[in-house]
Amino acid sequence: MTYIPISPHERDEMLKTVGVQTLDDLFEAIPQKHRFPELNLPPALSEMEAADLLGEMASSNENVREHMISFLGAGAYNHYIPSVIDHMLRRGEFYTAYTPYQPEISQGTLQAIFEFQALMSALTGMEVSNASHYDGATATAEALNLAYAQFRGKRKKVVLSPAVNPQYREVIRTYSQGLGVENVGDSASDSALSPEALLPLIDESTMLVVLQFPDFFGRIYDYTKIIEAAHAQGALVCVVANPTALIMLKTPGAMGADMVVGEAQPFGIPLWYGGPYLGFFTTKKSYVHKMAGRLVGETIDSRGQRSYVLTLTAREQHIKRERASSNICTNQGLLALACSIYMSALGQNGLRQVANLCYQKAHYAANELNKLAGFKVHFTEAFFHEFTLECPKPAHEVNQYLLENGIFGGYDLGQNYTALKNHLLIAVTEMNSKADIDALVAALKEM
Amino acid sequence: MATIVEPTIFELSAPGRRGVTMPASDVPETALPPQDLLRSELPLPELAEVDVVRHYMRLSKFNYNVDAGFYPLGSCTMKYNPKINEDTCRLPGFLYTHPLQPIETVQGNLVLMYEMQEWLKEISGFAGVTLQPAAGAQGEFSGVLMMRAYHKMRGDEKRIKMLIPDAAHGTNPASVGMLGMSVVTIPSDERGNVDLKALSAACDDTVVGMMLTNPNTLGMFDEHVEKVIELVHGCGGLMYGDGANLNALLGIVRPGDLGFDVMHFNLHKTFSVPHGGGGPGCGPVGVGPKLVDFLPAPLVGIIEEESEDVPPLYGFVTPKHSIGRMKAFHGHFGGGLVRAYTYIAMHGPDGLKDIAQYAVLNANYLQARLRDTYHIPFDRICMHEFVMEGQFEGSPIRALDISKRLMDYNFHPPTNYFPLIVHEALMIEPTETENKDTLDRFVEALIKIAEEAKTQPELLQNAPNDTLFGRMDEVKAARELVLCCWLPEDYEKIK
């Protein structure tokens, strides 16, 4: 199959205009020894054959809609995606456009991003949002870059709560390896520590404190006091937040956080085996010049019409090059649109229903599981839609047993926390019916 | 007060309107958390579904896009996005698999990823490929991290300088800046190649390596590329290839064969993943033998070989000296890898070579037809793109004016003011998916605009004239910094 719309006759005419005989003549600058390699790739497929091949690959997976009951979360959540979202995303006007460098003919994308910024600010309780990051983990790493720039590299300590998603902490370490930054706070094996345990680590050399809300174990804390303590030392605080939880809970913005970041996949983006997802980054207006990523601002055009442009581009790589606050260029434009449509289509009312269903079902599941002999909800703190379940045997054995019963049990916390090897992180969303939950409880009762 | 063309989603909101509703709860009710853990307000819009659809439909009509017309944005490879890719990436087996599922239940995904790694290795001539990076810039950052880790592992800690040509994309120096390394800029010579004299002088034992875009951003294949690589390797440095322009090289030459040590792919340029109005992209990285042990983790590998009737088991592996994880989970699987896999599978080896050949033919055809009207500072056979000057002697017209006027002719403008080494640069990349008629119409429009520049310059300076929106006041945007249509104190007004 080819998508090249040029006939052999037209090709020959064009070659003549260029002044060469054959297509191959265009490549004389390429070292001859390496020119035109034979590529050992499968022969080309027609569209029909490709559709079949990909169909077979996809259907060889067990998926969480058609085959399995799933209680997996830990950073990616199975939520209902209203039909209207994909109908809009499939419009070529949105998905086949580039980054809106020419605002006169890109107002659709620009206004959509502007609205995304506003929606995320409203959700997190912060003043400004950028146009997105690759995912929640890289958005968190960019918080470190902001803090580093804020203190001009003079403060080098980052206090990481052990209850921040382990993959996010790995990414922070990858990103910061050239900066001479010291990441502390998450080496303690005792993950049951409350956030107050981080307080002694926060001092005058601390540039950033990173917390998660609800935390990786599902727990909800009001971080106001720890944020005040960090501010007393001059440090910045970044809270990694779950957007579904923010529909119901006190915002990190209201707790005083300097940055609220996270993964917006729960808002209208499919699980897609891990990506692409949508990192969000919100902060206070005073940090906007240090923030990475694209930013859309309101203005007027030459005809006096309200319109939107990419603004503060002087922070960005194509202007500032090695002194840019980040190298980010392409972000997650189309998925920011998906997120905005999700929030708009559900609106206040629908979003509250989603959050309430998650909360109710998770608590029903926790209550029922807590009644089983040998099982116990591990923490006593309030939680939202994810909780830690202590099991009578290693979590991977429990999961293997559940898998044989058509259930993805939960995230095995023992992979990251040695003290929690018998513990599962169970996520429950509106997609889990009472029957699903009862099936999990029944299976574990039988185990 | 500005005229409002389309209200914001907040302005369209009316209290009590209902959009998509969710089912009633089917479980016994649990009390909510204590009041002090709850939020008091949720200042989000209230709309019916039809309001939402009409809003986004209206917005969509404000966008220029590849489905509607020619988008010769240099360096961005705005090729046609095949529709079948939109179907394959939405197959339920891809959409609804959780990234933490047991590997036995996602072998379809893992085979796809494994084959994608193998195919990209074959296309580029590299020894290893990671699919993890989210976009080209993150791929670059991964590459620079690996270069740094390689020297560090060898105890060669004094290497802190990255050599970068003056024509490079801004992401190159920015990626280096994120690691606290310093950038040494290498000038281009009069044929648009790396200046070998300047390069020799810069090559010493403090060099981490060089980041070279080849074809470069002038659209020129560096005629001395092997010499450049030899010089960099000679001083102990590593060679980074910016794969943004790989579209011109498919089946033509493999960067790994030329001696590059590491290169990122832009699946959203070369392999037709749509740009989505600014992402998501997908930026896998290929590496030569020196760097395979440093690749980001995890990679997809065969963890149990096949036997008689049992296919191999695919799973995740971590390279020995991995620089770590670049993002959560495994890369832009659904929206990136599945689309690119579909595209490569449908092209095969000959189809890929056709892509490069026709991309280069189209660029040279435009260059040949525009040569007499616009000054082309580096004028030789180009690759997939070329750069011309958007200015005329004795005329106040600038590249920006020409770009804006092109909108009146219903074309997306080329990239302007890049690369930085050409005055009033207009960087034109037609891609292989444009037919001759479109190219001819584009040439005619540019020739007409060149005439207008002499006879009616104000027509260009005021352009665009025939679009829905005119030129934007960018200074006002930066000065007033209105970044949000909702602020806590405004909410009462909106309600």
For chain A, give every residue range classified as CATH 3.40.640.10.
Answer: 84-341
CATH classification (class only), A84-341: alpha beta
Cβ-defined contact of A41 to B122 (cutoff 8 Å): yes
Fold of B86-345: Aspartate Aminotransferase; domain 2 (3.40.640)
Q: Which of residues 119-158 of B touch A (CB under 8 A)?
A: 119, 122-123, 125, 134-138, 140-141, 145, 148
CATH classification (class only), A69-81+347-446: alpha beta
What is this model's ipTM?
0.97
What is the pTM for the complete model shown? 0.97
**Cα angle: B72, vertex B255, B178; to 5 degrees:** 75
Residue B437 burial class via C-beta count within 10 angstroms: exposed 0-12, middle 13-18, buried 19 and up: exposed
| pLDDT at B488 (0 to 100) | 47
Reading chain A (447 residues) residue by residue, the pLDDT tens digits are 899 999 999 999 999 999 999 999 999 999 999 999 999 999 999 999 999 999 999 999 999 999 999 999 999 999 999 999 999 999 999 999 999 999 999 999 999 999 999 999 999 999 999 999 999 999 999 999 999 999 998 999 999 999 999 999 999 999 999 889 999 998 866 656 778 889 999 999 999 999 999 999 999 999 999 999 999 999 999 999 999 999 999 999 999 999 999 999 999 999 999 999 999 999 999 999 999 999 999 999 999 999 999 998 877 777 777 777 777 777 899 999 999 999 999 999 999 999 999 999 999 999 999 999 999 999 999 999 999 999 999 999 999 999 999 999 999 999 999 899 999 999 999 999 999 999 999 999 999
Cβ-defined contact of B95 to A99 (cutoff 8 Å): no
The string of pLDDT tens digits covering residues B428-440 is: 999 999 999 999 9
Asked if B49 contacts B20 with a C-beta cutoff of 8 angstroms, the reply is yes
Beta strand pairing call for A259-263 and A236-241: parallel
**A153/A144 Cα distance (integer angstroms):** 11
Beta strand pairing call for A279-283 and A259-263: antiparallel
| pLDDT at B494 (0 to 100) | 41
Asked if A248 contacts B34 with a C-beta cutoff of 8 angstroms, the reply is no
CA A216, A419, B329, B173: dihedral to nearest 10 degrees?
90
| pLDDT at A341 (0 to 100) | 98
Mutate to test the interface with B, among A13, A47, A54 (most CBs of B within 10 A): A54
3-state secondary structure of B299: strand
**A199/A213 Cα distance (integer angstroms):** 17
* B486 contact residues in A (CB cutoff 8 A): 118-119, 121-122
Of the candidates B96, B97, B366, the residue with the CA atom closest to the CA atom of residue B219: B366
Of the candidates A143, A202, A141, A196, the residue with the CA atom closest to the CA atom of residue A170: A141
Of the candidates A285, A286, A99, A297, the residue with the CA atom closest to the CA atom of residue B475: A297
**B458/B436 Cα distance (integer angstroms):** 31
Residue ranges in chain B modelled with pLDDT below 70: 1, 486-495
Q: Which of residues 76-115 of A touch B (CB under 8 A)?
A: 76, 78, 80, 82, 84, 86-88, 90-109, 111-115
Tell me which residue in A57, A86, A95 faces B112 most closely, judged by beta carbons: A57
Q: Which residues of B237-246 are buried (b: 16+ CB within 10 A; e: fewer)?
A: bbbbbbbbbb
| pLDDT at A323 (0 to 100) | 75
Q: Does B406 touch chain A (CB under 8 A)?
A: no
* A65 contact residues in B (CB cutoff 8 A): 92, 95-96
Residue A152 burial class via C-beta count within 10 angstroms: exposed 0-12, middle 13-18, buried 19 and up: exposed
Tokens of residue B125, six digits: 């001539």
Cβ-defined contact of B278 to A331 (cutoff 8 Å): yes
Q: Which of residues 193-252 of A touch B (CB under 8 A)?
A: 220, 222, 246-251
Asked if B402 contacts B426 with a C-beta cutoff of 8 angstroms, the reply is yes
Beta carbons within 10 angstroms of residue A42's beta carbon: 12
Asked if B208 contacts B152 with a C-beta cutoff of 8 angstroms, the reply is no
Strands (E), B133-257: 161-165, 182-186, 207-213, 238-243
**A184/A160 Cα distance (integer angstroms):** 6
Q: Which of residues 284-343 of A touch B (CB under 8 A)?
A: 285, 288, 294-309, 311-312, 316-324, 326-335, 337, 340-341, 343
* A42 contact residues in B (CB cutoff 8 A): 345, 348
For chain A, give every residue range classified as CATH 3.90.1150.10.
Answer: 69-81+347-446
Minimum distance, in Å, between the CA of residue B258 and any CA atom of chain A: 7
Q: Which amino acid is at A106?
A: S
**Cα angle: B451, vertex B452, B457; to 5 degrees:** 130
Beta carbons within 10 angstroms of residue A204's beta carbon: 9
Q: Which amino acid is at B306?
A: E
Chain position carrying tokens 């470069």 = B216
Tokens of residue B91, six digits: 């197959």
Cβ-defined contact of B67 to A96 (cutoff 8 Å): yes
**A205/A210 Cα distance (integer angstroms):** 15
Q: Does A16 touch chain B (CB under 8 A)?
A: no
DSSP B183: E
* B327 contact residues in A (CB cutoff 8 A): 134-135, 137-138, 171, 275
Asked if B310 contacts A156 with a C-beta cutoff of 8 angstroms, the reply is no
